Amino acid sequence: MRKLRLTSMTVLSAAAFAVFATQVANAVEVKIGGTINFQAGYTDQEDDFDVATREYGFRNDTEVVIDVAGESEDHGFKYGATIELEADVTGDARAEGLNADKTFIWVEPGYGRFELGNNEGAEQAMAVNAATIARATGGIDGDNEFYINATGIGGLASFLIFPDLPTADIGGIAEDATKVTFYTPNFSGFQFGVSFTPDEGDGGQVASRLDSNGDFENVFSAGLSYEGEWDNIGLQASIVGETGDSELALTEDLNAWQAGLALSFNDISVAGSYGDWDDSGLASGSSADTDFWTAGIAYAKEDWGVSATWFDSDRGGNDYESLVLGVDYTPVSGLTPYAEVTFFDADEAGVALDNDGTILLLGTYLNF
């Protein structure tokens, strides 16, 4: 009899749990996915300082992504969250987070979308440049940085090597610092977005309120984009920018912008952009500034694609130029082998050493 009662209780408990699970499932939908990227890199760097180094290495980059989505018919809005977990055996190579890269809540009433938490801002999400059409690891905004001997070029901080504005280029938590972002709906192809970040050094559970720890505070960023298609012609365009206060008295405030355009016709795409940092983050009174250009062309056909992207920057007289050729192929859903070759040249102001090199990456993405 006791066994029968226990069995009955088990059945009832399971039924109750099933009802509860169904109610939860009706409220929100949870999807778990992610990506793992294994790559082998080979570097041939003409650099007097590139000694006692091996020319090749392997690298792994893994993320698990949890997407939550729900909808309230009574209140007329959608809601959810995104959590991008770092899933490697080490911390993130760009110091973007120990446990997670992005964690944010989103809410979509009828008049737009709010994002609350740790995520990229409007200036990054809405930017258009040559990397927009790049294949493999992202071309001029890809993984080549992990295979450059930065010692020989005065440290990567001395150069601008990606088509980013200062917030994304700083590294660490800054790009995904805790913020509030709002995007308007798409009106005839046009969309506007704006973000506010109290402190670029604060992420996750940290709310330091310090205004003297060396980064930017009270950061506003915004973007205006347009996307349209006519017959076989597609157009993407945007202008994005950011402004903020320096926390150091003798450092210039944040003021930077980028404008870009991408055109597509059938299977061919071209893109380019110009960005200007002005004197953001430099010593007060400095006449030096930072700017960059990008250009690229790509061809995509069914399950494969190829691209060539070019980047050129000047950071206070330090010139950096790269040309990246990439190709990828997706024979089955989610599995994408790729190859990428980067030719780079870094010239440091006042230094006779002409530092250049070639980087070859071979790898495979698995998206699940």
Contacts of 195 (CB under 8 A, 6+ apart): 121, 122, 123, 179, 180, 181, 182, 219, 220, 221, 222
Q: Using the CB atoms, write b or e for 295-308: b if 16+ within 10 Å.
A: bbbbbbeeebbbbb
Q: What is the pLDDT of residue 153?
A: 64
Residues 198 and 217: their CA atoms lie apart, in Å, by 5
Is 272 domain-assigned? yes
Secondary structure class of 24 (helix, strand, coil): helix
H-run or E-run covering 210: none
- State the total domains in the chain: 1
Is 22 domain-assigned? no
CATH code: domain of residue 196: 2.40.160.10
Per DSSP, the residues of 127-184 read: --SGGGG--TTTGGGSSGGGGS-GGGGT-GGGS--SS--HHHHS-TTGGG-EEEEEEP
Taking the mean position of all CA atoms in its chain, how far away is CA 39? 19
Token reading at 167: 């917030």
Token reading at 10: 């088990």
Q: What is the pLDDT along the chain (368 residues), one digit of tens a residue?
A: 333 333 443 443 344 434 434 444 457 999 999 999 999 999 998 766 666 788 999 999 999 999 999 998 888 899 999 999 999 998 887 777 778 999 999 999 999 999 999 999 999 999 999 999 999 999 999 999 999 887 666 667 788 999 999 999 877 788 999 999 999 999 999 999 999 999 999 999 988 887 777 889 999 999 999 999 999 999 999 999 999 999 988 899 999 999 999 999 999 999 999 999 999 988 887 778 899 999 999 999 999 999 999 999 999 889 999 999 999 999 999 999 999 999 999 988 877 666 889 999 999 999 99
Is 228 domain-assigned? yes
Token reading at 208: 């330091």
Torsion 3-8-11-12 (CA) sign = negative
Contacts of 353 (CB under 8 A, 6+ apart): 47, 48, 152
Residues 61 and 43: their CA atoms lie apart, in Å, by 19
Distances (CA, A) of 112 to 36, 86, 194, 284: 32, 29, 11, 39
Is 14 domain-assigned? no
Q: Is 274 exposed, middle or buried (0-12, 13-18, 19+ CB in 10 A)?
A: middle
For the entire predicted model, the pTM comes to 0.88
Q: What is the pLDDT of residue 252?
A: 92
Is 7 domain-assigned? no
H-run or E-run covering 106: strand 100-108
Is 19 domain-assigned? no
Token reading at 19: 């009802």
Residues 101 and 346: their CA atoms lie apart, in Å, by 30
Is 1 domain-assigned? no
Q: What is the pLDDT of residue 214?
A: 80
Q: Residue 353's domain spans which residues?
A: 28-367
